[in-house]
Structure 1
Amino acid sequence: MSKYTPKNKYELKDLLYKEVPLGEIDTSLITDMSGLFFNSWEDDFSGIEKWNVSNVTNMSSMFYGAKYFNHNISAWDTSNVTNMSKMFADSKKFDRNINSWNVSKVKNMSGMFKGASKFDSPLDNWDTSSVEDMSNMFCNAAKFKQDISEWNVSNVKNMSGMFKGASKFDRPLNNWNVSNVEDMSNIFCNAVKFNQDINSWNVSKVKNMSGMFNGASRFDSPLDKWDVGNVEDMSDMFCSAASFDQDISGWNVSKVKNFEAMFKKTEKFNQALYKWDISKAKNISSMFEGAEAFNRDIRTWNTSKVTKMEAVFKETHAFNQCLNDWDTSNVVSMVSMFKGAKSFNQPLDKWNVSKVKSFAYMFYEAYRFNHPLTMWDTSSAGNMECMFYGSQLFDKKNKPIMR
């Protein structure tokens, strides 16, 4: 029989501080258990399985960083909980079956199993229909690979980082209704095994896809049906997605402002992008850096708002397309733009570079480049360090004249 009946979380924490046995505490009046065992070194949770949590609404960070926690709490009545964010985050030993939990009222599951490196228990029975935030839910949950294909995620707005670093996860998600999601940034970042067909996803409300497949080294599934018309940020989207080479030529990217490192180190990518409307883009730095196979015509791109072109074609070993019609009138940095672009040798004499402040390493080891740049207005440039270093064929008489 319980000897203690705390009225609130603070009275409960006081009992825990006094090391009262957990089985002697009646928690039926408690509504908030957030952070209760935060970073706890407790190794004996005997009796916690009997806790009455039926009135609890907040369990956020409850076992966050609880070093030894792995107790059976499957019988808990969680039917009134609305917040489970970070509940088991960094709970390195936790791997209990909580599939029977009633989570029908939970709105926030952000970071729930983040860093729970051993967790790999079934969750397929969960009713997630009320959840609005699943950001970082399985982030760095390195062993998690359970089937959650039938989850109702129709109310979720935020999935950023959801499977980031979930290195074993490769389950079908094609049935998910993601029509209300606005943020998918880093959702599969470093999910190195993930390669499922998600072409049917309705991503029409998504605004942020930055880092979405960053480091997802096996991902090479079609995405041509996606409506990306509301996306504003695609930075790092396929960065280091080494296998990706799908046709996305029909994408509407007219609202995207940031393309930085979008295809960086996508070693196989070589798809047509000439139809893309990038007229809103301000940053295309490193967009194709290290995209060794890329060699497509993008001369028609509207780059009039772009201010940063650093390393756009750095280490693009195959790229050799005409870019002379690009509007570079607002660009302020071209650092390393063609550095190591071994094949590039196209005229650029029409470019307006009057606002560029740094040309450092721009053609560094661009072995074949040898076109006149004498008409360039470099009056704003403060740094031209190693601009042509290692450009073996470049004739010095073609250098821009310092004005």
Structure 2
Amino acid sequence: MPAAILSPLISLACNKPNDNKNNINDINKNFKYSPASRNELIDLVNDENVNLGDIDTSKITNMSNLFSESYRTDYSGIDKWDVSNVKYFDNMFELPFPETREKVDMSKYNFNNWNLKSAESMYGIFGNLNIIPDISKWNLSNVRDLRGFLGSGYKDNYSKLNININSIRFDLPETIYNVDKQLAGLSLFFHEANVNKIKKPTNYKEEGQDFKKDATPYLLKKPDGNIKYRPKTRHQLRQIVRDGNVDLSTIDVKFIDNIDNLFDFEISKERLAGVNSWDTSNIQSMKNVFKNQDVSLLNINNWNTEKVEDMSGMFEKTKGNIDTSNWVVSKVRDFSNMFAFSHFNNSLEDWDVSNR
């Protein structure tokens, strides 16, 4: 494998069509395609000859960054999608090319029939769209991360959006845990969007301050060996790791499938090393997980990465070298900026990147 492919500044955001997409088992006679994974779905949506209405999305649980490599301007049929099992919609419509964004008018499509019962995170779902669709009938009562919901989360972005959400139901919990330092994404939303039917959370702090994290509610009634915490969702895991009193080695993450941006806060390299013993066998996305951190004490060469599809920005701007030579990365689709501006200096010659 040429060394240039996996340099310290990895950037492999290429569009490689999947030759097997037409062989996907057709389970529902009303659909031509029935992708079983996010990777298969990405290959389909990147093919402009595929009508989105011909895709059965009932098996998909993660639609994060779904259109981030797409030149598509026609989204006809997206209203037929079954998203009832999708947990993550992060940056779903973050379109990469300005010339494409200018041609996309999402207000032409009906998103109001989407079943969002499983949705947990919609961080930046509408990304950089100039016009977002009517979502007035959405019920986001289960969503725990709405940062940048309508865009970047900053004041100058709201004035550019054509928003019709006067009756949207947020029904947010009394205390919001996941807005972190981008609280402006919610407080400015309430203030600038002139929305009058949203239940505003009653317990939040000013922009730039973190909420107090308390992992006590997720303590096991009886410790299992060294394990004291066994979160079932990414929201629970985020709250636990942000409690500075928690030893990360006491967390069992076997039920977690997404750790994107998990450590996007100040944490010591000593405490971070607690992840060395984590069971990562079910994790599918590790995007930006260690970005900007000191990883010099990490020993995660034995992490199970067989199910991981996204490692973009994972070690971007990190301090300290890291050994990942034993990792299985055959399912990874996105390595972009994985080691960008980092101190990485180890061989990756044994990595199988044939999926790229």
Query: Normalising by structure 1, what TM-score?
Result: 0.37
Higher helix share: 2
